[in-house]
A and B are shown apart, each in its own frame.
Chain A
Amino acid sequence: MKKEEGKYFYCAIKSKEEKNFGKIGLNNEEVYTIPYGDIAAVVSDSPMTDYELTEDNTKKHENVIKEIMNQYSVVPAEFGTTIKNEIILKRLLKKAYNPTAESLKLVENMVELGVKIVQTDKTVLVDDQQKKILTSEITESLKSKAKEAKTCDLFSERLVLNASFLVNKDRIDTFSEEIERLKNKYQKLKFLYSGPWAPHNFVYIKIGTEGVEIKKSGSN
C-alpha cells in the first residue's frame, strides 16, 4: 500500500529527537515526531482529508495528546490539522519556531483543568446579579490555585460557570482540594470537574490560509 504523504498534526513538543510512540494515531497510524531544532511536531501519516468532528475522531486525537503529555509538555494543534507533506511541515515549524518555543515555555509542566457548574432542580438562581457574584467568587478562589484562568462559552441555560484553568502539574491536588471545598460550600450546585487536558484553551497551533498561527490565551 502507498504510504500517505500527508501528516496529521497533533501537537508540538520540546524535543530534538525522532521518536515513535506506536500505532495510536487516527486510522491506527503510527505517531512519531518530526523535529526542527529543539522543537518537534507530533504527527501521524494521513490522507489529506477533512476529518469530521465526531466523538470517535476527537477522542482519538485527544488520546494521542494525552499519551504524549505523559512525557512532555505540549502545545496542541487544532483538531483536523493535516499538512500536505514533511517538507511543508518543516517549513511551517521553521516559520513558527519562535512563538512555538515561547508557548512551550508558557505551558511547561502545566495542564488544563476544566470546571463546569450546573444548576440543579434544587438551585434557584433566577437573578443575573446573584449569578455574577457567585461565579466571580468561585472563579477567583480557583484562580488563586492556578496560573491562568479562562471563562468559556455558556452553551446551556443550565450552566452557571464554564471555565478552564492552567495549573502546574504539582498543584493539581491543591486545585482539587479547592474544588472539594467549593462543592461543600455550594451543595445545591453540581460541579463537573475534568482533566488533566492539554492546554487547548490557553495556547494552540492553528494552520490556516495565512500560514501558521499560535493562538495564546487572550489573543484572537
Chain B
Amino acid sequence: MKKLTLPISDEDIRALKVGETVLLSGVMMTGRDAVHKWLNDAFIAKTVEPTEDDIAVFEAIKPILDGGIIYHCGPIVSGVDTGDYKFVAAGPTTSIREEPYQALVMKLFNLKGVIGKGGMEAKTLQGCMDTPAVYFHAIGGAASLIAQSVQEVITVHKLDFGVPEAMWVIDVKDFPVVVTMDSHGRSQHVTVYEKSKKVLDELMAK
C-alpha cells in the first residue's frame, strides 16, 4: 500500500490514480461548510471585510495548507472544556456541499488534496487537474477507527464556529483513504453514476 507524508509534492500527486489506496501521515486540518464559506466570503469573493482575527487565522493556516490537505470532517472531541483535546470519533462528512468553493480554495492555498466522502463534481475535478490535487475518499461512518489514526490535536481555530465546524489542526498517522478523483480528470464517481444511470433507465422502461 502506498504511503504519503504531508506536505505532498506535485509529482506525487500526479502519480496517484483513481482506485489507489493510500495511507496518509502528517499535519492536516479539518474544514467543512462554515470554513469554506468563511474562506470564500472573506478571502476569495471578498464580500465581507475580514476582521483582525480572520486575518490572523488565515496567516496561521496558510503554511499548513500549502502542499497540505483539508479533511471534510466534523469530529466529536473530548476535553473541549479543559483544552486537553482528543478526537473521539472523526469520520468524513459529505463533500458535495463544498463544490461551489473547493476548486477556489485549492488554488488559494496550493492544496494537494481534500479528504471526504461521496465525491465531488466537475468544478472540483477541474481544480484537481489545475492545482494539481486529488480527492481522497475516506470510509463514511468509520469514525472510531479513523479517530485512532489521529496522534495529536495540535490546535484549533474558530472554535466559535462550533466543535463540528471549527478548524482542527491534527497530526495523523496512516490515515486510510482511496483516491476516487485524480489530477488527470478521472473520477470513479462519474463512472459509477453513468453505469447506474444506464441500469436505472432500463428498469424504468420495464
A binds B: no
B positions within 8 Å CB-CB of A: none
